[in-house]
Amino acid sequence: MIVICASSVALAAEDPVREYSIRNRVLNKFDFVFTAVFAVELVLKVRKFAAAFCSKSDSTFKVTAVYAHH
């Protein structure tokens, strides 16, 4: 939650008028850090839920149901 708030503050602190100001360049670097943190969080959550999904005995039924729905 702290990272989300920090990302929002950094986004709000950007200067839309002076696009290449020092502040915007520094905040751009922070944007890459926030994106990396969110990407790692996404990968960990997908792995966690995939492991829970695949550990069930009826996972074949679930996969079939998902594909049949599309």
Count up the domains in the chain and report the number.
1
Q: 7 vs 57, which has greater pLDDT?
A: 7
Report how far residue 62's alpha carbon sits from residue 49's, in angstroms, rounded to the nearest whole number.
13
Residue with tokens 């989300």: 4
Whether the pLDDT of residue 1 is over 70: the answer is yes
Whether the pLDDT of residue 32 is over 90: the answer is yes
Whether the pLDDT of residue 28 is over 90: the answer is yes
Residue 29 belongs to what domain range?
2-69
User: Is the CB of residue 24 less than 8 Å from the CB of residue 15?
Assistant: yes
Whether the pLDDT of residue 64 is over 80: the answer is no
pTM of the predicted protein model: 0.66
